[in-house]
Amino acid sequence: MTQVRAFNAQGQLAFSKILVEKAPDITNQVLELLKDGTCSTSLGFELEISKLESRLEIAEHLWIYFAPGKPGFAHAGNRDMWTWIGAAYLPVLLGNPAKIKMIGEKARWVLEDSSIRQHRHLISGPYVIYAANSQNIENAMAALATPILSPGEVVERVAGKAAMTHGSAIAIATELYYDKINKKLKKNSSTHDLGGPRRLSYFLGQIDLTIDYPVMDKAHLIDLLPEEFHVFLNATE
């Protein structure tokens, strides 16, 4: 178990610098930063930093500590904490120097203030989706089925738009792009072409001008889908 901490300004700056430089010994640099008590503050509760693979797995794990009534719940909105947790997970998720190329943009590890980029954080992103759909996680599988380090296009389009992270919108994304039998995204679900998640985001944005789609029944929303989405509705894998 690890004491959960929150980076201060010094820690944020140091971690950002490490991410930008992407040195071959990046995992060692991050571990040293985490040991530096002058760069962060303890929040008074513990978290197990586990080697996990999928967004669903890490969301389920975090829910143990950050669900309502749990020690971390009061801190769930602390961006500096999520950045520290991102740093704590980085050495575990990368595993070896060959994965340095998977570090990607800073927003994957540093939880930014921008509402249009927060979903890209590899650790808090799955938790936010899970929390928004805790009463029916099956509805949210389109945004939870992929690997932690490779969220993919469906996650980008679904989790990147607040109105699509819950209710009928995420349920319909799951209906379209998630294979419930094989528990993975359907073939070609990341396409930018007709019927893909980008097109779904555009479509929902258009009807949002006249229809309150987040509160609609999933079946009724499916009835409104243009024909281009039927290829995914009818697909089984």
Q: What is the pLDDT of residues 113-151, one digit of tens each?
A: 887 889 999 999 999 999 999 999 999 999 999 999 999
Instruction: Confirm if 102 and 11 have CB atoms less than 8 A apart.
Output: no
pLDDT at 234 over 80: no
Taking CA 221 as the corner, what is the angle to CA 233 and CA 189, rounded to the nearest 5 degrees? 35
- Residue 164 pLDDT greater than 90, yes or no: no
Q: What is the DSSP letter of 46?
A: E
The fraction of the chain above a pLDDT of 90, given in percent, is 70
Tokens linked to 7: 């980076």
The reply to whether 128 and 151 lie within a common domain is no
Using the 3D structure, point to which of 132, 160, 194 is the last residue of a domain: 132
Same domain, 75 and 153: no
- Of 82, 102, 132, the residue at which a domain comes to its end is 132
Instruction: Tell me: do 126 and 152 sit in the same domain.
Output: no
- Assess whether 177 and 223 both reside in one domain: yes
How far apart, in Å, are the Cα atoms of 41 and each of 19, 80, 87, 175?
A: 21, 10, 14, 43
Handedness of CA 227, 214, 162, 234 (dihedral sign): negative
Mean pLDDT of 87-111: 88
Whether residue 153 is found in the same domain as residue 45: no
Same domain, 112 and 201: no
- Average pLDDT score over the chain: 92
Q: Is the pLDDT of residue 97 over 80?
A: no
> pTM of this prediction?
0.92
Q: Is the pLDDT assigned to residue 236 strictly greater than 70?
A: no
Same domain flag for 17 and 53: yes
Cβ atoms 24, 97 nearer than 8 A: yes
Considering the domain architecture, whether residues 107 and 4 belong to the same structural domain is answered as yes
pLDDT at 219 over 90: no
Is there a single domain that holds both residue 108 and residue 18? Answer: yes
Domain of 34 in residue numbering reads as 1-132
Quickly list H helices, the chain: 9-21, 26-35, 55-66, 79-94, 124-132, 152-159, 167-177, 197-207, 218-224, 230-233
Looking at the predicted structure, is the pLDDT value of residue 206 above 90? no
| pLDDT greater than 90 at residue 69 | yes
Using 50, 70 and 90 to split pLDDT, how confident is the model at 199?
very high
